[in-house]
Amino acid sequence: MQNAQAQVLPFPKTRRLPEGRQAQLEKLPLCVGLNGSLLAADPVDECLVGLLRHKPLVLLQAVWQTRGERSALRQRLGQECELDVASLPFNTAVLRYVEQQKGNGRRVVLATAIHRTVAERIADHLGVFDEVLAADALNSEEKTIAEALVGRFGAGGYSYIGAAECDLPVWESAAEALLVNPSGRLEAKARAAAFVSCVFGNRDGRLTSLLKALRSAQWAKNLLVFVPAFAAVPWTDPAAMLAAAFMFVAFCLAASGSYIINDLIDIAADRRHSRKRTRPFAGGQLPLRYGVLGPAFIGAGILLAATLSLLAGLAIVLFAGIATAYSFWLKRKPLADVLSLASLYAVRLLGGAIACGLMVSSWLVVVSGFLFLALALIKRAAELQETDTTIAEGPALGYGSANVGRVCAIGVFSSVIAILVLALYIDSAALSGVYLEPLSLWLAVPAMLCWQCRLWLAATRGTMHTDPIVYTARDPVSWGCFGIVAVAYLIAVGSIGLLPGASAPA
């Protein structure tokens, strides 16, 4: 069997049986379900997402021609989709058990309602099944599998490994039921309907997996909505800060929704990646149908922002549009990818200004523009430095490892220009009267330069392993740099009187 992404389950809990009874069961064929049993994912959902990514028009045509009828649509999806079976998330404990039974001389059968083409490809890849029973073009999935197995082996003539409530009719006609990750309710029903000899693993909390899929660590980027308020020094205005807080939540919702969509689009590449393969959708901890929450979160973010103003709602629409275009297309286009990433930072800044009713100064636009471009290039440089050979399937495809030097050069220039413009702004602020103690802002220049240099060192050494903002949130030195910036700002506005002659704000 080739290497495949796998979900690790604890070794199954089995019942002790009399030796005669155990010997009788081991002579029966072991039939294995696919959805949630051998696979941690639903193959129908896998086909649907695959077509959505590569053949969206074919998917729309299939839905239209089958009128959305589940059984017919399932068969059509199986026919049209070229599933990458090697990267599918197989349940390790189930597969180990099947291989063990096969090694003991037991007949092993793959029984599924998915299209035969997909079932046979999975069986060929694993190389452990003696037979494939695929129920094609019938209307009732559970009856199809149950009737097919009874017709093939007779009532009570087989053992069956399943994971869902639709497997209950199959277990009822089986001599032995083996359950995979059952809920307490399903396990009780199965024990009432059949002889349960084995339970694989425990059902993990899907809420935990969903929270992980939302990537809450990335919400730190949305703190940019507060920057216009602090830059204009109206942060003592409760109304402005409340509006910025609403916008922060709106961007968090939209960003999490965009991450869910991105994870679905990139699921095949993520499963080949040494680190990203553990993400909830890629690893099979979260069913792909939960992907509908992506558009739902984006919609919630738009509605929340729209309560502030129409322009605020349009800012979230713009953000979601760029993020979606990035996931589907822009991330594989050199330069367009980093410009789109930089624009996502910029839209957050713009959204904060709109929410607070402020104008964004040209200084802030220039500093943030070059800084955001540098952050996007740091992310790309870190990906290019990864030794994982599967990175060619990801965003770095458009650059190639030979271009890492050029990417770093452009990024370092962007970082330096951003710091230089910041210094020029501080020099101008000394004459503008915006700050009470503008000289203290010079502390921010070496602090920001140190932060940028640290990010570039981590990216080029291959030690970043994540987004630069997430790296910053976990890095004590970066926290120290921003602590210096915060102190410099508070001194400048007069909230901290540390400099000789500092005066309190009026």
Tens digit of pLDDT for each residue in 370-383? 999 999 999 888 88
pLDDT band of 203, cuts 50, 70, 90: low
> Cα–Cα distance between 3 and 405 in angstroms, integer?
33
> Cα–Cα distance between 12 and 56 in angstroms, integer?
40
Q: Which residues contact 243 (CB under 8 A, 6 or more apart)?
A: 308, 355, 356, 357
Task: Supply the pLDDT for residue 453.
Answer: 96
> Cα–Cα distance between 11 and 96 in angstroms, integer?
9
Q: What does the angle CA 386 – CA 388 – CA 390 come to, to the nearest 5 degrees? A: 125
> Cα–Cα distance between 210 and 288 in angstroms, integer?
11
**In CATH, which superfamily holds the domain spanning 212-360?**
UbiA prenyltransferase (1.10.357.140)
What does the DSSP 8-state code read for residue 357? T
Could you tell me the residue ranges of all domains in the chain? 6-203, 212-360, 361-498
Task: Supply the pLDDT for residue 81.
Answer: 76
Strands 13-14 and 196-200: antiparallel
Query: Higher pLDDT residue, 403 or 300?
Result: 300
pLDDT band of 504, cuts 50, 70, 90: very low
Task: Supply the pLDDT for residue 482.
Answer: 95
Task: Supply the pLDDT for residue 370.
Answer: 93
- Res 112 pLDDT > 60: yes
Q: Which two tokens stand for residue 270?
A: 């993520």
Q: What does the angle CA 260 – CA 266 – CA 267 come to, to the nearest 5 degrees? A: 85
Helix (H) or strand (E) holding 212: helix 206-213
**In CATH, which superfamily holds the domain spanning 6-203?**
HAD superfamily/HAD-like (3.40.50.1000)
* Cβ proximity of 56 and 264 under 8 Å: no
309-332 residue pLDDT tens: 999 999 999 999 999 999 888 888
393-429 residue pLDDT tens: 444 556 766 778 888 999 999 999 999 999 998 888 6
> Cα–Cα distance between 56 and 45 in angstroms, integer?
14
- Res 481 pLDDT > 80: yes
Backbone angles phi, psi at 108, to 5 degrees: -120, 130
Sign, CA torsion 260/262/264/268: negative
Place of tokens 């032995």: 176
Q: What percent of the chain has pLDDT over 70?
A: 85
The 3-state DSSP class for residue 107 equals: coil
Task: Supply the pLDDT for residue 404.
Answer: 81
Mean pLDDT of 228-236: 74
Write out the E strands in 36-156.
90-91, 108-112, 131-134
What does the DSSP 8-state code read for residue 286? S
Mean pLDDT of 248-263: 96
Backbone angles phi, psi at 173, to 5 degrees: -95, 5
Specify the amino acid at residue 116.
R
- Res 341 pLDDT > 60: yes
443-454 residue pLDDT tens: 999 999 999 999
> Cα–Cα distance between 360 and 232 in angstroms, integer?
9
Beta partners for residue 132, in sequence order: 110
Same fold, 6-203 and 212-360: no
Q: Which of 361, 400, 384, 378 is nearest to 467 (CA)?
A: 378
Q: Which two tokens stand for residue 104?
A: 């003991």
Query: Higher pLDDT residue, 84 or 108?
Result: 108
Cα maximum dimension of the chain: 94
Name the CA radius of gyration of the chain, rounded: 28
Task: Supply the pLDDT for residue 499.
Answer: 43
Q: Which two tokens stand for residue 393?
A: 């399937």
> Cα–Cα distance between 158 and 441 in angstroms, integer?
76
Mean pLDDT of 335-348: 92
19-39 residue pLDDT tens: 556 677 778 999 999 888 898
